[in-house]
């Protein structure tokens, strides 16, 4: 059940609240979105709420990166061992990596620029949108949440910040990726040894190829949770102001010019 049945009379809409999440178009910096696609293909699209292509590129990155050994080559390159980097790359996979990688960056950038224009037009149109949704499985509504809590939860485990603000799909991707990367990189095992002060043992336990995915997943999850909490709060305010103006501004209301009493 929704509080607004869309009759598709608007040319463009800024937001929609559905049981799977609050989706909105808002102004974004195209360079920042492109950067997240650079860090990990698909993340830029997930930030834009273009979930299907984002998820597709995200999975693609895991498959092709691991098979072509891109991450290992990155590690060797940063260590200055160029020969090892060249040797580790698998030419059976390597060439397909480049076009899709750059496509994801370019497409995220281009889409952001386009959607910023759409936002300006939709914002001027000020059409009503659905802001409350309840179904058998979920409830979603607009309200204010704390951006710092979103950061904190995403730092504990990527994806939790997204659950906090009801971005169910990104939470699914985030939590799924976290479980996979934690497991295959042996990260948690290494952290346990690390906390016990056994750094010499912690390093060889780690799988470098998988570990290199982790910073991007953490960084993205923190950024996505934070920025969307802030944007959801702004959307709540905007919607409430519209509601007040529409319902509580009777033209017959007269201000009483009396004296203040206690």
Partner 1 sequence: MQLFATFDNNLYLEMAISTLEKNNIEKDNIYAIPLDNRKEPRKLFDTLHQSDGISLIDIGVALGTAFSVIGVSIGFKMAWGPIWIGLIGSFIGFFIGLGIRLFMNVLFQKRKSILKGKQVEVILIIDCAETQGELVENILWEHFCFGVAKIK
Relative to beta strand 132-134, strand 139-141 is antiparallel
- Here the tokens at position 142 are 């607009």
The reply on whether position 124 binds partner 1 by CB under 8 A is no
Determine contact, residues 177/171, Cβ cutoff 8 Å: no
What minimum distance in Å lies between the beta carbon of 242 and partner 1? 9
Distance, CA of 92 to CA of 260 (rounded, Å) = 82
What minimum distance in Å lies between the beta carbon of 258 and partner 1? 5
Determine contact, residues 132/186, Cβ cutoff 8 Å: no
Give how far the C-alpha of residue 6 lies from the chain's centroid of Cα atoms, to the nearest Å: 26
The reply on whether position 259 binds partner 1 by CB under 8 A is yes
Give the 3-state secondary structure of residue 15.
strand
Pinpoint the alpha helices (H) of 48-167.
51-68, 70-78, 82-88, 94-125, 147-156, 160-164
- Residues numbered 3 to 32 that lie near partner 1 (CB under 8 A) are 26-27, 29, 32
> Which member of 56, 66, 74, 152 binds partner 1 (CB under 8 A)?
74
Distance, CA of 239 to CA of 128 (rounded, Å) = 9
- Residues numbered 196 to 255 that lie near partner 1 (CB under 8 A) are 199-200, 202-203, 206, 208, 211-212, 214-216, 218-220, 222-223, 226-227, 230, 233-234, 236-237, 240-241, 243-245, 247-250, 252-255
Nearer to partner 1 among residue 11 and residue 126 (C-beta): 126
Binding residues (CB under 8 A) for partner 1: these are 26-27, 29, 32, 35-36, 39, 74-75, 77-79, 143-147, 151, 190-191, 194, 199-200, 202-203, 206, 208, 211-212, 214-216, 218-220, 222-223, 226-227, 230, 233-234, 236-237, 240-241, 243-245, 247-250, 252-262
């Amino acid at each position: 059940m929704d509080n607004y049945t869309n009759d598709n009379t608007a040319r463009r809409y800024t937001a929609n609240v559905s049981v799977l999440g609050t989706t909105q178009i808002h102004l974004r910096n195209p360079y920042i979105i492109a950067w997240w696609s650079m860090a990990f293909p698909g993340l830029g699209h997930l930030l834009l709420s273009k979930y299907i292509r984002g998820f597709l590129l995200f999975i693609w990155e895991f498959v092709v990166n691991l098979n072509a050994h891109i991450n290992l080559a990155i590690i060797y390159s940063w260590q200055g061992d160029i020969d090892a980097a060249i040797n580790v790359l698998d030419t059976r996979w390597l060439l397909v990596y480049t076009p899709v990688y750059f496509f994801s960056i370019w497409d995220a950038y281009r889409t952001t620029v386009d959607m910023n224009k759409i936002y300006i037009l939709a914002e001027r149109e000020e059409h009503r949108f659905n802001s409350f949704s309840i179904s058998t499985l979920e409830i979603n509504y607009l309200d204010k949440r704390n951006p710092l809590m979103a950061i904190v939860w995403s730092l504990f485990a990527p994806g939790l910040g997204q659950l906090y603000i009801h971005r169910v799909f990104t939470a699914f991707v985030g939590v799924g990726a976290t479980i996979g990367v934690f497991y295959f990189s042996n990260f948690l095992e290494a952290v346990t040894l690390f906390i016990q002060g056994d750094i010499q043992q912690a390093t060889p336990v780690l799988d470098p190829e998988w570990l290199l995915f982790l910073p991007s997943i953490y960084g993205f999850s923190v950024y996505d949770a934070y920025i969307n909490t802030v944007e959801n709060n702004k959307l709540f305010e905007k919607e409430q102001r519209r509601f007040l103006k529409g319902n509580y501004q009777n033209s017959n209301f007269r201000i009483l010019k009396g004296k203040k009493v206690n």
